Structure 1
Amino acid sequence: MLIRKAEQRDLPRLLEIYNREVVNGTATFDLEPLTLAERQKWFDAHNRDNHPLLVAEVEGVAVGYASLSRFHEKAAYGTTVELSVYVEPAHCGRGIGQTLARAVIDSARADPRTHRVVSLVTASNTASRRLHEKLGFRHVGTITEAGMKFGRFLDVDYWELAV
């Protein structure tokens, strides 16, 4: 497995991985698949400032990614970034998500512009909860029934890591 900075050529594959979760899962609260143009805006906001976007590549194919994104648009939040990790289902359970998350968190620790890494995790996502615990995140609260997807309300856990 190779962990590397995402490149423009990766975008269609990253979109495919993300949209699979949009359609089938609750890790994201997007309800409709995103277009390539919509995801391009997200891509363009990464790999600059304190917002890395890393890809896990297996046998030449991107199978997952991790990013640190702006947590909030207001300027005072600039030292806080939000972690996202998505791995293709066929490659889950192999440590790829953890390796990606550690790599992107290492970049946060090395960047003096970053003070906190936060994650918003669907409370029923036990794999993500375990990952955040392994990474040293602290659970700081839950918003009950924060969103609705697939006809049911979903709680969202907030996690934070001081870097």
Structure 2
Amino acid sequence: MTIRPARESDLPELLAIYNYEVEHGVATLDLNPRTPDEWKEWFSAHQTDSHFILAGEENGAAIGYASLSEYRQKEAYASTAELSVYISPDFRRKGAGSALIGAVLDRAKECGTLHSVVSVITAGNEVSEKLHQKFGFAFCGTLHQAGFKHGKYHDIDNFELIFDGQK
């Protein structure tokens, strides 16, 4: 797998990966599939040093992505980004997620403006939780029954990674 910055031409594949999870899973608690126009807007918001998208490519096709997004709009949070990782169902548990997270964190450290990265994981996703812990993310709390999807409430677990080890 090759890891590279996502391109606008990747958007149909990345959108399909995300919308699959919207419709079939709980890795995102979005209820409605995103549209191509919404995805272009999302892509445009991720063209900075600290907010970006990396795509994993296999045989010329994007098979997953990891992104760093604005954590909150308040200026005090500018040094914190939120990590998201989505992999095509056909490529899960084959190392793509790990490779993408590693590449995103390397680039995040290099940008020089980020102090911490957070990740919000739907509780019970042990594969994702272990993957984040592998990279030094620490569990920092659960929000109980935070979202309702597929007929039931879901807790969300919050994880953080502080780059310089200070809180």
Provide the TM-score with structure 1 as the length reference: 0.98
- Structure 1: which amino acid aligns with 2:106? D
Q: Which residue of 2 aligns with 1:150?
A: 150
Consecutive unaligned residues in structure 2, runs of 5 or more: none
**Pairing of 1:37-116 with structure 2 (within 5 A):** 37-116=37-116
- Structure 1: which amino acid aligns with 2:93? G
What is the Cα-based RMSD across aligned positions, in Å?
0.7
1:37 counterpart SS class: helix
Note if contact 2:142-2:155 (Cα within 8 Å) is conserved in structure 1.
yes
2:127 counterpart SS class: helix
- Structure 2: which amino acid aligns with 1:47? Q
Q: d(CA) in 2 for partners of 1:40 and 1:75?
A: 24
Q: d(CA) in 1 for partners of 2:131 and 2:96?
A: 11
Q: Which residue of 2 aligns with 1:14?
A: 14
Further displaced range: 126-135 or 96-105: 126-135
Note if contact 1:52-1:107 (Cα within 8 Å) is conserved in structure 2.
no
The question of 1:160 aligning with 2:160 is answered yes
Q: d(CA) in 2 for partners of 1:62 and 1:112?
A: 28
Identity of aligned residues (%): 48
2:62 counterpart SS class: strand
**Pairing of 1:117-156 with structure 2 (within 5 A):** 117-156=117-156
How many residue pairs align between the two structures?
A: 163
Q: d(CA) in 1 for partners of 2:161 and 2:111?
A: 14
Q: d(CA) in 1 for partners of 2:52 and 2:34?
A: 21
Report the CA distance between 1:49 and its aligned residue: 3.3
1:28 counterpart SS class: coil
- Structure 2: which amino acid aligns with 1:84? S
Q: d(CA) in 1 for partners of 2:135 and 2:142?
A: 19
Q: d(CA) in 1 for partners of 2:111 and 2:37?
A: 29
Note if contact 1:148-1:154 (Cα within 8 Å) is conserved in structure 2.
yes
Note if contact 2:49-2:111 (Cα within 8 Å) is conserved in structure 1.
no
Consecutive unaligned residues in structure 1, runs of 5 or more: none
Note if contact 1:63-1:91 (Cα within 8 Å) is conserved in structure 2.
yes
- Structure 2: which amino acid aligns with 1:34? R
Describe the superposition over 1:103-144 as per-residue Cα deviations: whole angstroms up to 9, x where unpaired: 001111112210000000001111111111111100000001
